[in-house]
Structure 1
Amino acid sequence: MIINGTPISKICDFTGLSARDVYTKIDFIHDRVIDITARRERLFEQVDWITVGRRFATGSQTLQLNWPNKKTRAQIAFHHLCTAHANTGYIMAAHVGQDPVMELPDIEA
């Protein structure tokens, strides 16, 4: 429900939990994700690249996202670039081609 953008109040109504309990569960999930990521990244330091191979695969994709302005109702293209280890599938880097300096009024003009 959280991933779909459901408001916390609706989650509370649907599950019968209080807002405090929902936030506690969100914090729990967040902590588990951090733990799993940290454990996996620690293992990454011990990788024997000769054994697993040194091949990497890079791919790009154009994502069509809805313009964040309801009046305009247009889609904008974001370019996504990802590099993964070819044998293990471990994502080495992922980037979205976004310029954080740009402002919506400048783009719309």
Structure 2
Amino acid sequence: MYNREEIGKRIKSARMERNLSQIKFAELINVSTPYLSDIENGKTNLSLEIFTRIVETLQVSADSLIMADTPQSLEYSSAELSRLLSDCSVNESEAILKMAGTLKEILRSKI
């Protein structure tokens, strides 16, 4: 089911992960800052055109914003992790996986 508030939270989270201010991100997707705020707070519906700009600018999958826990999104995340590790040495891979495990523990402890 379409949930504007959840989609808005995911958009905001992805924007913040990329260290983009609302003002800068609004400029990049060619919308006003108040309109972006409404999107992130789930107060307005998105057009397909603006949603596409958001996905392209943030370089995230559309399904990760719409339905974060769907199998397709999890498959995408798994593929992205594989891509990230593909050119790493054994030591780099082990370090990244250790950090991912630690981050997972931190995230779960805050829930």
| TM-score above 0.5 | no
Report the structure number with the largest CA radius of gyration: 1
Q: With the length of structure 2 as denominator, give the TM-score of the two structures.
A: 0.28
User: Which is strand-richer, 1 or 2?
Assistant: 1
User: Which is helix-richer, 1 or 2?
Assistant: 2
Q: With the length of structure 1 as denominator, give the TM-score of the two structures.
A: 0.29
RCO higher in structure (CA 8 A, sep ≥6) = 2
